[in-house]
Amino acid sequence: MKIKKIIKGTVGGLCSTFLAVSVYAADLPVDLELALGVDVSGSIDEEEARLQRDGYIKAFRHPRVWEAVRHGRRGRIAVVYYEWAGFGHNKTVAKWALIDSRESALAFAKQLTKEEPETASRTAIASAIDFGAGYFDNNGFKGTRRVIDISGDGPNNWGELVTKARDRAVVQGITINGLPIMNGRPSPWGLSSLKNLDLYYRHCVIGGKSAFIVAAKNFNDFARAVLRKLVLEIADNTPSERHAGPVQLAQIGSGVI
């Protein structure tokens, strides 16, 4: 009888231990998993790259972002920040972080100040989307929503079709939002700017449930645009925006848009 009790107690202890490990190992539920992908391609100079980084730093220091997080069902989100350019040029600047308070948002903003942005040639949006989608695997979080946000000042000019990468992400349940920067000037490589970049982003880049764009008029307007976009994303609100004009392709005859 005594032996049976010992065995029973041991099994019970093992079950309790297993349960504790299972609970500990489970992904943390959050309202949103957000991957922020920022363009540092050749059309963006050092000052403009800095303006983008500063825009996100200011946003995570802003009370409107903290309030948007606090009013979510769980009151917490997870965020990762990376910069991208040509095919394969993707760099994690700030790893996944839990944002559940003013202090954690400020800590994430501080992570973004630790090193300067590095620019590189070409604009491979498809590669940036694929890279962003990979962040959601085994990241320790379980979001009600998964979102990649792509910001940039030009269309895809390297690698495969943007729409293919977009569709792959959407099939995985990921929404892609966009922040096109209406730069308006030619790139240093002689490529002309895309006049209707906002429409290009709308039709070729964003996708998934409640996908939207918030356009910046120029780089000096980026901080305003990114704050608005973040608050909308965190609160799961979709802005009502007008559709106008045809979509212009980034390249003709190359299979790249």
- By the 10 Å C-beta count (0-12 exposed, 13-18 middle, 19+ buried), 51 is classed as buried
- pLDDT of residue 21 exceeding 50, the answer is no
pTM for the model: 0.81
The crossing angle, in degrees rounded to 10, of helices 102-111 and 46-60 is: 170
- CA-based nearest residue to 172, from 208, 211, 128, 138: 208
Over residues 160-167, the mean pLDDT reads: 94
Q: Among 41-50, 132-141, 185-194, where is mean pLDDT lowest?
A: 185-194
Q: Which residues pair with 99 in a beta bridge?
A: 77
- Total Cβ atoms within 10 A of residue 58: 16
Give the model's confidence band at 41: pLDDT under 50 very low, under 70 low, under 90 confident, else very high: confident
- pLDDT of residue 178 exceeding 80, the answer is yes
- In the chain, the domains with their CATH numbers are 28-235 (3.40.50.410)
pLDDT in tens, 77-123: 999 999 998 776 789 999 999 999 999 999 999 999 998 877 666 78
- pLDDT of residue 12 exceeding 50, the answer is no
Distance CA 186, CA 192 (A): 5
Give the model's confidence band at 184: pLDDT under 50 very low, under 70 low, under 90 confident, else very high: low
